[in-house]
Amino acid sequence: MKPAERLRSLLTTIDRSSYGAYKQIAGSYDFGDFTLHIDYVQGDPFASPSRLRAVFPARVAQLPEELLHPEIRRTAASDFLNRQLWRQLGPISRPRGSGKSGMVRILRPGQQILERTSLQIDAQGQIVVRFTAGLPASGRRVLGRQAIEMLLTAVPGALRGTLAPATRELERLRRHTLLAEDSAALRRQLAELGLVAFIPDGAILPRRSGVDDRPLAASEAVSFLAPEGLSLTLTAPNRGPVSGMGIPRGITLIVGGGYHGKSTLLRAIEKGIYDHIEGDGRELAITVPGAVKIRAEDGRSVASVDISNFITDLPRGEDTAHFTTANASGSTSQAAAIAEALEVGATCLLIDEDTSATNFMIRDARMQALVDEADEPITPYIDRARQLHQELGVSTLLVVGGAGDYFDVADTVIGMRRYLPTDLTAGAKDIAARYRSKRAQEGGSWSPLEQRVPDPASIDPQKGRKAASIKVQTPTRVLFGTHELELSALEQLVEEAQVRAIAQAMVHATGRWLDGKRTVREALERLTEKIRREGLDVIDSRQVGDYAEFRIFELAGALGRLRTLRVHAPERAVDP
């Protein structure tokens, strides 16, 4: 390891040299209280920025032991310091020449508390920070003096201003970790209480806009208040009793007039799979980990998915037990999304009528009278929801505004009026009894899903001479090799870093667990379990700082949307 002054000397020596001279500074430098590692040096000022790491040993970081254990506290502490460092780096990230010169960046966290590779605290209290820096240049000439100012003054100042014990906002950090611990503890209680979700009293559920996930100002929003009949109190380990609305397992409808908060409630529930930061408004709004949002997605590709429980006897004779298409309809895409979620263990399906295919959700009595069941290939969801719960233990939360026939199968009905919930279960059941639907039950018994084994040769990230090329084009679109992968329908993804990690995980798993022998579930469970045990670095040996944790459901959803994917039936059992 070289002393920090060696970095100063090198930058002075190569000042005004051709940009390639920057390669000489790769290596590790001792700054006394931390070590700076320059892991990758960009070859051009317009190329991807250089990758750097800063390591603060435990003896320097001096993090209180209470923040290191259990693991949820350590993850939350890492999340908090990442947020603080992002703010510190903002003022020093500025143009210092051509292209990306002078840009200093670390992952910007959203409203959720996630594990990220950008800042990690280990069990002993060591802090590792990963960030990028655009090395200064004029044209393609090294600007050594500007690099010295950036790497030896500005960056160390920002790091110390966030991570040094004397500058740490310890009380806020402590609250952040305890909040995450409480949220995770309440989520574990849901299964014991027979619930799929819980919304605390006082929550602020509306967001500022469709592109701004921060809460609506309290002066403009209506605070959540649990209705009588669904109100209960859970106990958090740190803050104690928490009152709110519990949503039981089974089939739950969220009903009400337009613009009264139905979809807002469902969106809070779908994001309740994550812990949220203080001030988000959805703190302690929690959902079971196996909840998956389902929607129609015209035009997506489907690779040999078993949709036969919902769709059979298509006019052209397609095999719906192994349904394949490059251009799915609304109904076939929604059926495929459900089958893919069930394939990897979903326990609760979240559905909004507004983003569903109408003919997939309901076929009323008049349409049944007009079109004979023998001529209708779709068994609507209304006729499968009860089977999913009774036979597979899979619950449904459904926002519905125009299909009252769902009252016949509902266990719980939540009405939203002026953004506040009411328990309308008794009223809905009374209406169902008084105004009996004339529609007939369709579809037979539920059939076990056909298992799929992905062909690893069809998961090809190669582009030109690169064995693996991944480029995130937008927060929901990634270029996987030469193939565009669109993930906007996976609505529970909350950060671009998750998309990047999912694409890299697919590369890493191909040939290992995606080996042509294991089923989708077997392969992805082994991958996600290894990540859970060893961290996100297992998917990429380069120690990059732009990945965030993801779930098996979104990983499976991405794999299923890869247009080159080919699958076959299992040939034999595979040893773990």
For the chain, give every domain's residue range.
2-168, 189-449, 453-568
Tell me the mean pLDDT in the region 310-316: 91
Residue 416 has pLDDT above 50, yes or no: yes
Burial of residue 458 (number of CB atoms within 10 Å: 0-12, 13-18, 19+): middle
Rounded-to-integer distance, Cα 486 and Cα 79, Å: 27
Q: What's the pLDDT tens digit per position in 421-464?
A: 999 999 999 999 999 999 999 999 999 999 999 999 999 999 99
Residue 575 has pLDDT above 80, yes or no: no
Q: Which of 132-146, 322-336, 562-576 has the lowest mean pLDDT?
A: 562-576
What is the phi/psi pair of residue 146, to 5°? -65, -35
How much is the pLDDT for 317? 84
How much is the pLDDT for 572? 56
Confidence band of 573 (pLDDT split at 50, 70, 90) = very low
Rounded-to-integer distance, Cα 328 and Cα 445, Å: 25
Rounded-to-integer distance, Cα 67 and Cα 76, Å: 9
Q: What percent of the chain has pLDDT over 70?
A: 99
How much is the pLDDT for 469? 94
Fold of 189-449: Rossmann fold (3.40.50)
Rounded-to-integer distance, Cα 406 and Cα 397, Å: 12
**pTM of the predicted model, to two decimals?**
0.96
How much is the pLDDT for 516? 96
Rounded-to-integer distance, Cα 261 and Cα 265, Å: 6
Q: What's the pLDDT tens digit per position in 138-160?
A: 999 999 999 999 999 999 999 99
